[in-house]
Amino acid sequence: MSYIDFMSPLHKSTHRDYLARVNDLKFPKAKAAELAKKWGFDYWDGDRRVNYGGYNYIEGRWEKVGKLFVEHYGLKAGDKILDIGCGKGFLLFDIAKIIPGIDVYGLDISEYALKNSKDGITKKLSLGNCIELPFENNYFDFVYSINTFHNLYNYELELALSEMNRVSKNSKQYICVESYRNEVEKVNLLYWQVTCEQFNTPDEWKWWFTKCGYKGDYSFIFFE
């Protein structure tokens, strides 16, 4: 189990006004969270004060992460990979573009995201929950989850980590979740998030990984 940061450059490329978001009058935090947790239009393509404010495919944005995955994990044509919490499937689309012949799968709880996924990838995406993956044991050569597991309650988190282990052939796994290292980052996370249920320090996340037998790699997103 190793800390490998694939996501910080992408995360840090976005400017965030934490105070403006938490003090917004039209979408106060409770209202924004209620809308976001429906995982529908408002979460993906609604007002930026609720969440993404338009989650659109940008050429090359996710390809950078895909190339890092391919190089680090030695992915090749014929490998089966799974994205848990795939959203609209942009990263899977770019990985499939990088390696023609790779067998990609995605799973997400959002019916809206799947219906509005990237053309050419939709048939590889399934509606479902990460606490009960609809795949056989040891099915995938690489499994990853980006910005999903922090949305789970404690009892769901343990199940999800166990499921991720179950469907993986080996320790080629990667998880990225939100975290905080100090009070400033904790406050910023609380101000910005709309779907997070896990507010854990890096050591607490590592405790969870160890407790559930997770043997893959991981990294954290911090709101500095």
**191 occurs within a structural domain:** yes
**3 occurs within a structural domain:** no
- Which residue range(s) make up the domain with 57? 8-221
Residue linked to tokens 């989650």: 55
pLDDT tens digits along 23-39? 999 999 999 999 999 99
Asked if 110 and 116 count as a contact pair (C-beta separation under 8 A), the reply is no
**47 occurs within a structural domain:** yes
Contacts of residue 7, Cβ cutoff 8 Å, sequence gap at least 6: 65, 146, 176, 219, 221
Q: Return the CATH number at 42.
A: 3.40.50.150
In order of 7, 108, 122, 168, 170, the CA distances from 138 in angstroms are 26, 20, 24, 5, 8
**46 occurs within a structural domain:** yes
**156 occurs within a structural domain:** yes
8 band by pLDDT with thresholds 50, 70 and 90:
confident
**117 occurs within a structural domain:** yes
Asked if 177 and 147 count as a contact pair (C-beta separation under 8 A), the reply is yes
**74 occurs within a structural domain:** yes
pLDDT tens digits along 64-122? 999 999 999 999 999 999 999 999 999 999 999 999 999 999 999 999 999 999 999 99
Residue linked to tokens 């990667």: 174
**119 occurs within a structural domain:** yes
pLDDT of 14 reads 87
pLDDT of 9 reads 84
pLDDT tens digits along 129-187? 999 999 999 999 999 999 999 999 999 999 999 999 999 999 899 999 999 999 999 99
Tell me how many domains the chain contains. Answer: 1
pLDDT of 10 reads 87
pLDDT of 13 reads 86
Helix %, strand %, coil % for the chain, to 5? 40, 15, 45
pLDDT of 1 reads 81
Neighbours of 20 (CB within 10 A): 10
